[in-house]
Amino acid sequence: METYGNINTADSLTAIKKQIFDEKKISLKELLDALNANFVGYEWLRKELKTAPKYGNDDAAADAMACRVHKQICRCARWAQRRHAHGQRQQSLRR
């Protein structure tokens, strides 16, 4: 199994966490409105989000978020593998 965009996901989640939950500069409603408008009329918000720390730049919060994303993807992959293996056993028992 290959995954793509993990670091982009971590960077996006870091920006959301920082701007909405940590610094409370924007509200969740503002973010959702901006996303629904593809940031048209919310250019200032997009700029704020883009200033958030990024993975690989010696920022502990951004690096920790990348680790969280990676661990969650690994958990999901193991779950899917177990589920698939169980399904394969069930199939072979039916024959």
Instruction: Render pLDDT for 50-86 as a digit per residue (tens, 0 to 9).
Output: 999 999 999 999 999 999 999 999 999 898 888 877 6
Q: Rounded to 5, what percent of the chain is helix, strand, coil?
A: 75, 0, 25
What percentage of the chain exceeds 90 in pLDDT? 75
Q: What is the mean pLDDT of the chain?
A: 89
Half-sphere exposure of 39 (CA within 13 A, CB side): 8
| pLDDT given for residue 87 in this prediction | 65
Can you give the residue ranges of every domain in the chain? 6-94
Amino acid at 6: N
Q: What is the pTM of this model?
A: 0.78
